[in-house]
Every structure is written in C-alpha cells, then in structure tokens.
Amino acid sequence: MIKSLNHFSFTVDNLDKSIKFYTEILGLKFTKRMQQSGQFIENITGVPGVEIDIAYFERSGFQLALVEYTKSKGVKIDTTPSNTGSAHVCFNVENFDEFIKKLKSAGVIFAGPVSEIPQGPNKGKKAVYMKDLDGNIIELFS
C-alpha cells in the first residue's frame, strides 16, 4: 500500500538551464545535485550503461528531481496532454495573476489562456497549463 509521495521527476535535456528555470522563473529552492552511474541506477531505470545528473528542489513539503541522462540519452517525446503517457504536475500559486505576468515576461509558453474552473471542488479558481524548457507540462492553480 502506498503511504505518501516521496518525489516526482522530469527528464530534461540540459540540467544547468533547467536549474536556472526552476529556481529563477518558478521560484523553487534548489537543494542538491548529484551524479549516478553503475549497476544500481541501471537496475532502477532499465537502461544499460546509463549515467545521470540529478538536481533536487524543495517547496512546501514536496521534492522535485530533474534528471539529465548524460550517457544513454533518450529522444525528445511529444508531451501534448492528450497523448497517452503524457503527465503533468500541478502547483498551487500565491499571487496568481502577478506570477502569470512574471512567467509571460520571461517567455514561458502557455497551452492556452488562463481560465476559471467552472465546476467541481476547485470551482472559481484559475488554472493554466505551461511547459518548461523541455516540454514537461506544469499546471498552475490560483
């Protein structure tokens, strides 16, 4: 039985650029960076000869890991939300309208306009999908 969330992760193409984006643009706290290789990480990922560079971030009790495959690099996938296997993470945002303005001025790509949620438990809140530098989808909630 699952008891709690440990972390979530996105694969990125350039970890240095992604660290800058996630800290300076999204405001997450960078906590550590490490490299992994060898049998353990090969077993976990199922990728022979894999080497990875990982950056960890924290914010409000969650942990995010960004992973760059430095050896056995994969291919960019189509993360369009309707594609099977596509995933996203949703963040609750303080000062939503100001944050959206900041993201727009930084050139962040949005899937569509900010919209008010019409029904359900989040009725009346605002929401929008955006993409990070690698096309990973992030939903923002007011």
Quick one: pLDDT band at residue 2, thresholds 50, 70, 90? Answer: confident
Cα separation values, 8 from 49, 80, 89, 119, Å: 23, 19, 8, 28
Q: Judge contact between 10 and 22, C-beta under 8 A.
A: no
- Tens digits of residue pLDDT in 30-45: 999 999 999 999 999 9
Domains of the chain from N-terminus onward: 8-71 (3.10.180.10), 88-141 (3.10.180.10)
Q: Judge contact between 99 and 140, C-beta under 8 A.
A: yes
- Tens digits of residue pLDDT in 87-102: 999 999 999 999 999 9
